[in-house]
Structure 1
């Protein structure tokens, strides 16, 4: 028995390692908690807590190098990012064990899923990275599943990913049956929504980028002016209503800014297109991560400043506070990279009437898939298209249903471009209207469960005589 339990625990750790992180295998995410929770019911409460915390830590350990080496997160904070959720995961696994042994399988699954969903939501509010940290993104390429976020936000997908295996781990027919019905309903809704979704019928959008050089280039230098000239030469070959360039492509202050704005203003007028260019703008003693928006009428460019800056890497920058729509195109909003990690900002643009977001971005190669899919999920949540230029990542255009219209990696010599259709109008979603209602339902459920004392779990009361809870070891081979 001990060897079996150890094997199941190790299996969960491996499944978490490959089912989460920067390049998750979506099917493994559904399976990861199952062996651990089944094994936890067959060990002491303290052992279940300790082993579960260790499994979560081991599964997330591959991200430590990304946090510290790429995002330059201090080591103590990296340790806290790994250890804090691990302790919560251990506590939820121990609660699941006690409720399962008390013959409360639905409550066990509900507490485990609602607890983890609530944790993700709280961290999205408390930490400066927004909704970056969530199991839900592992399903971004699974069309029927990702449609759930149009109703619940990412919180509903997280609930499913934790609740379904938690129900299966109890091996109780009513819990397994409930999970099966819920999953079938979700997949049915998602399949129907995709089958009835219209194709994008709006303007053609283009993304243009190069990684050579993969750096910020000052317009005061000959290299900066040469890079701008190369972009303009390539842009003249593109026929699109808007051309989006990457984040922080150029550096300019008030003296050198005309060297950038003059040629791009002429390009927009000549090609009768909108041009969005990322620039590090030094002005008035401040530095802004900005997107300059040039319109076909040749007028003064609008400027959007990035709202959500990367801690540490952008500590010298001043955050913006205004939302910006393309002049003459109120259905086109402008954001920059990390702004798409924050659902509330996207919902605000949707309330403004935006149908498409134009997003200069700059990734780190290793996080290209994850960060691009996070942007895709934001679009499904609020029912808008996302046109995201991820230098050192992916150029990607997605529609309000999460369907990728065009995608191409920038990791190749020279310039890379893609074109695709944007939606002509936004799509109404429940999440876009009511926001994080599902996360609040999960938090309320936990509060009510705690207030009720969760009989059999909080008190540690044994199951009824002759039940599986009274003899958990006897359930090892029990049929569903």
Structure 2
């Protein structure tokens, strides 16, 4: 059936009004081969996020999926796209990508993610037919951005998997997040689908879709041009500082994490484990740290979980680090997993360890002892207070977070608001997520105008400047014997709009979606009232005249 005219819509709505029901949803446009478009969109989904990213796929996949959903009933489109998205996620999340349980729990987790990805298409199918012009194209991007934002606030993984992260490779476009955060980029990517479908549905009737297309193209061009200008004319030009980012020796680290379970209240067994499994990797890290200090590094940072240590030995490890920092007059951040003395096997959900990043200054004083604020589920430790520490140094203002903390822009924004220049992000990944997680790190640097140092165990160590340029990149953890990245980074950051305004764009998207919903509802009521009026007029015209009037005639 082709798109029906306004007269036909009124007749249909009028019939519904006479029956006492709500006006029907405007009919779907005719779409030839809708299942072909579904297969094309679903086929691109595994490349739109997670492990095998092709940045263009994130823009194109929703175009084809929307072409399908707009030709279906909302319930049908929601179900089919949920299934398609879930199947694509099974491919994207292969090789134990997320540390969740296998079996029914895993498939329920994937299905929930799939439903979250499908809901914006259902919202578009329900609202867009009741709107016209530019508002019609804004429903979907507002829904996607709102869904991403709600997911980030409720998920233990924060913004992991956000649409915006697919664009890690495009520096000009990446600069947009310094103004809007990832939400503006998510909105822009998602906006393409309804604009293209508007053109697709209207064909040569340019007057109906010209304005949304012009506005979208102008917005995209402005983002690219302003980002390019920022890269060209506002590149960091401050002095630099030599930084050494250390991950542990792979063999020794594997040995430390293969240690037998510790028994609470058994000092002899704990001491034996420490001497055989924990001490070798710790000695090697201190030896390399001293070597880098002698080579001229002024800031030395270990990866997350670089060393394992016993709670009863923690003070001695910090004292050893203080001696090295004082002797060589360097800033040294040591990161360690501290095994709690009275912890069992963690089967009851109680914490068994603590995840620390301890910074020592050149005098040997402890500047901060930061606990990871957003633990990965299953890590075995409780969350820290979530206060990002800072310190002023001759090399700029320093701050730190740990690994998955960088999935939470609101947490990291503390650094941007505090005027931090260099952010240390000790991390620890696993092979299947190593590239994907590293690709997200530059977003936090650009959002907050900070240089970022990311020493990483079992993953990619890197450093970027405040505009996301790679200053150092070491991706050979699983093959190389040397696990040190040495890089010079700018000592002065920049102030960003996002650090000041926060998630304004996300909140605006949610509010905009409510406004569009209200506009669509009012349009539905007006259609119903108009249809009822047409129906009433038709009934009056067809009703026989009263007998007395006929007689009088």
Shorter-chain TM-score range: 0.7 to 0.9
Report how far residue 422 of structure 1 moved: 2.6
Who is 2:69 aligned against? 40
Determine helix, strand or coil for the equivalent of 1:378: helix
Report how far residue 326 of structure 1 moved: 4.7
Determine helix, strand or coil for the equivalent of 1:213: helix
Within 5 Å, which residues of 2 pair with 1:401-440? 401-409=467-475, 410-440=477-507
Dislocated runs of 4+, deviation >6 Å: 457-461
Within 5 Å, which residues of 2 pair with 1:284-363? 287-300=353-366, 302-311=368-377, 313-317=378-382, 319-326=384-391, 328=393, 331-363=397-429
Alpha-carbon contact 2:297-2:330 (below 8 Å) kept: yes
The 1:97/1:123 distance shift into structure 2, 3 A limit, reads: closer
Alpha-carbon contact 2:246-2:302 (below 8 Å) kept: yes
Q: CA separation in 2, counterparts of 1:134 and 1:383?
A: 21
**Does the alignment pair 1:203 with 2:254?**
no
Report how far residue 56 of structure 1 moved: 2.2
Who is 2:462 aligned against? 396
Report how far residue 327 of structure 1 moved: 7.2
Alpha-carbon contact 2:370-2:384 (below 8 Å) kept: no
Post-superposition CA distance 1:14-69 (Å, at most 9, x none)? 11111212231101111111112123333444433333323322332224446x66
Post-superposition CA distance 1:222-274 (Å, at most 9, x none)? 44333233223333332211111111122223432355334433332333221
Residue of structure 2 aligned with 1:244, choices 279, 296, 301: 301
Report how far residue 98 of structure 1 moved: 5.1
Who is 2:121 aligned against? 93
Who is 1:104 aligned against? 132
The 1:459/1:39 distance shift into structure 2, 3 A limit, reads: farther
**Does the alignment pair 1:182 with 2:210?**
no
Alpha-carbon contact 2:243-2:297 (below 8 Å) kept: yes
Report how far residue 132 of structure 1 moved: 1.8
Which segment drifts farther, 280-289 or 164-173? Answer: 280-289
Alpha-carbon contact 2:45-2:88 (below 8 Å) kept: yes
Alpha-carbon contact 2:427-2:456 (below 8 Å) kept: yes
Larger Rg: 2
Within 5 Å, which residues of 2 pair with 1:128-167? 128-167=156-195
Alpha-carbon contact 2:375-2:381 (below 8 Å) kept: no
**Does the alignment pair 1:194 with 2:244?**
no
Report how far residue 184 of structure 1 moved: 0.8
Q: CA separation in 1, counterparts of 2:194 and 2:253?
A: 45
The 1:428/1:202 distance shift into structure 2, 3 A limit, reads: same
Residue of structure 1 aligned with 2:512, choices 442, 445, 448: 445
**Does the alignment pair 1:235 with 2:235?**
no
Determine helix, strand or coil for the equivalent of 2:252: coil
Who is 2:446 aligned against? 380
Who is 2:252 aligned against? 213
Post-superposition CA distance 1:355-404 (Å, at most 9, x none)? 11112110112111221222210111111111111111111111111111
Who is 2:90 aligned against? 61
Unaligned runs of 5+ in 1: 465-480
Unaligned runs of 5+ in 2: 1-29, 200-208, 260-272, 343-350, 532-553
Who is 1:471 aligned against? none
Q: CA separation in 1, counterparts of 2:127 and 2:527?
A: 9
Alpha-carbon contact 1:212-1:413 (below 8 Å) kept: no
Within 5 Å, which residues of 2 pair with 1:12-23? 12-23=41-52
Report how far residue 276 of structure 1 moved: 1.2
Calculate the aligned-residue CA RMSD, in Å: 2.8
Determine helix, strand or coil for the equivalent of 1:237: helix
Report how far residue 96 of structure 1 moved: 2.8
Who is 1:30 aligned against? 59
Determine helix, strand or coil for the equivalent of 1:123: helix
Under a length normalisation based on structure 1, what TM-score does the superposition of the two structures give?
0.87
Alpha-carbon contact 1:380-1:401 (below 8 Å) kept: yes
Under a length normalisation based on structure 2, what TM-score does the superposition of the two structures give?
0.76
Determine helix, strand or coil for the equivalent of 1:220: helix
Q: CA separation in 2, counterparts of 1:206 and 1:42?
A: 56
Q: Which has the higher helix share?
A: 2
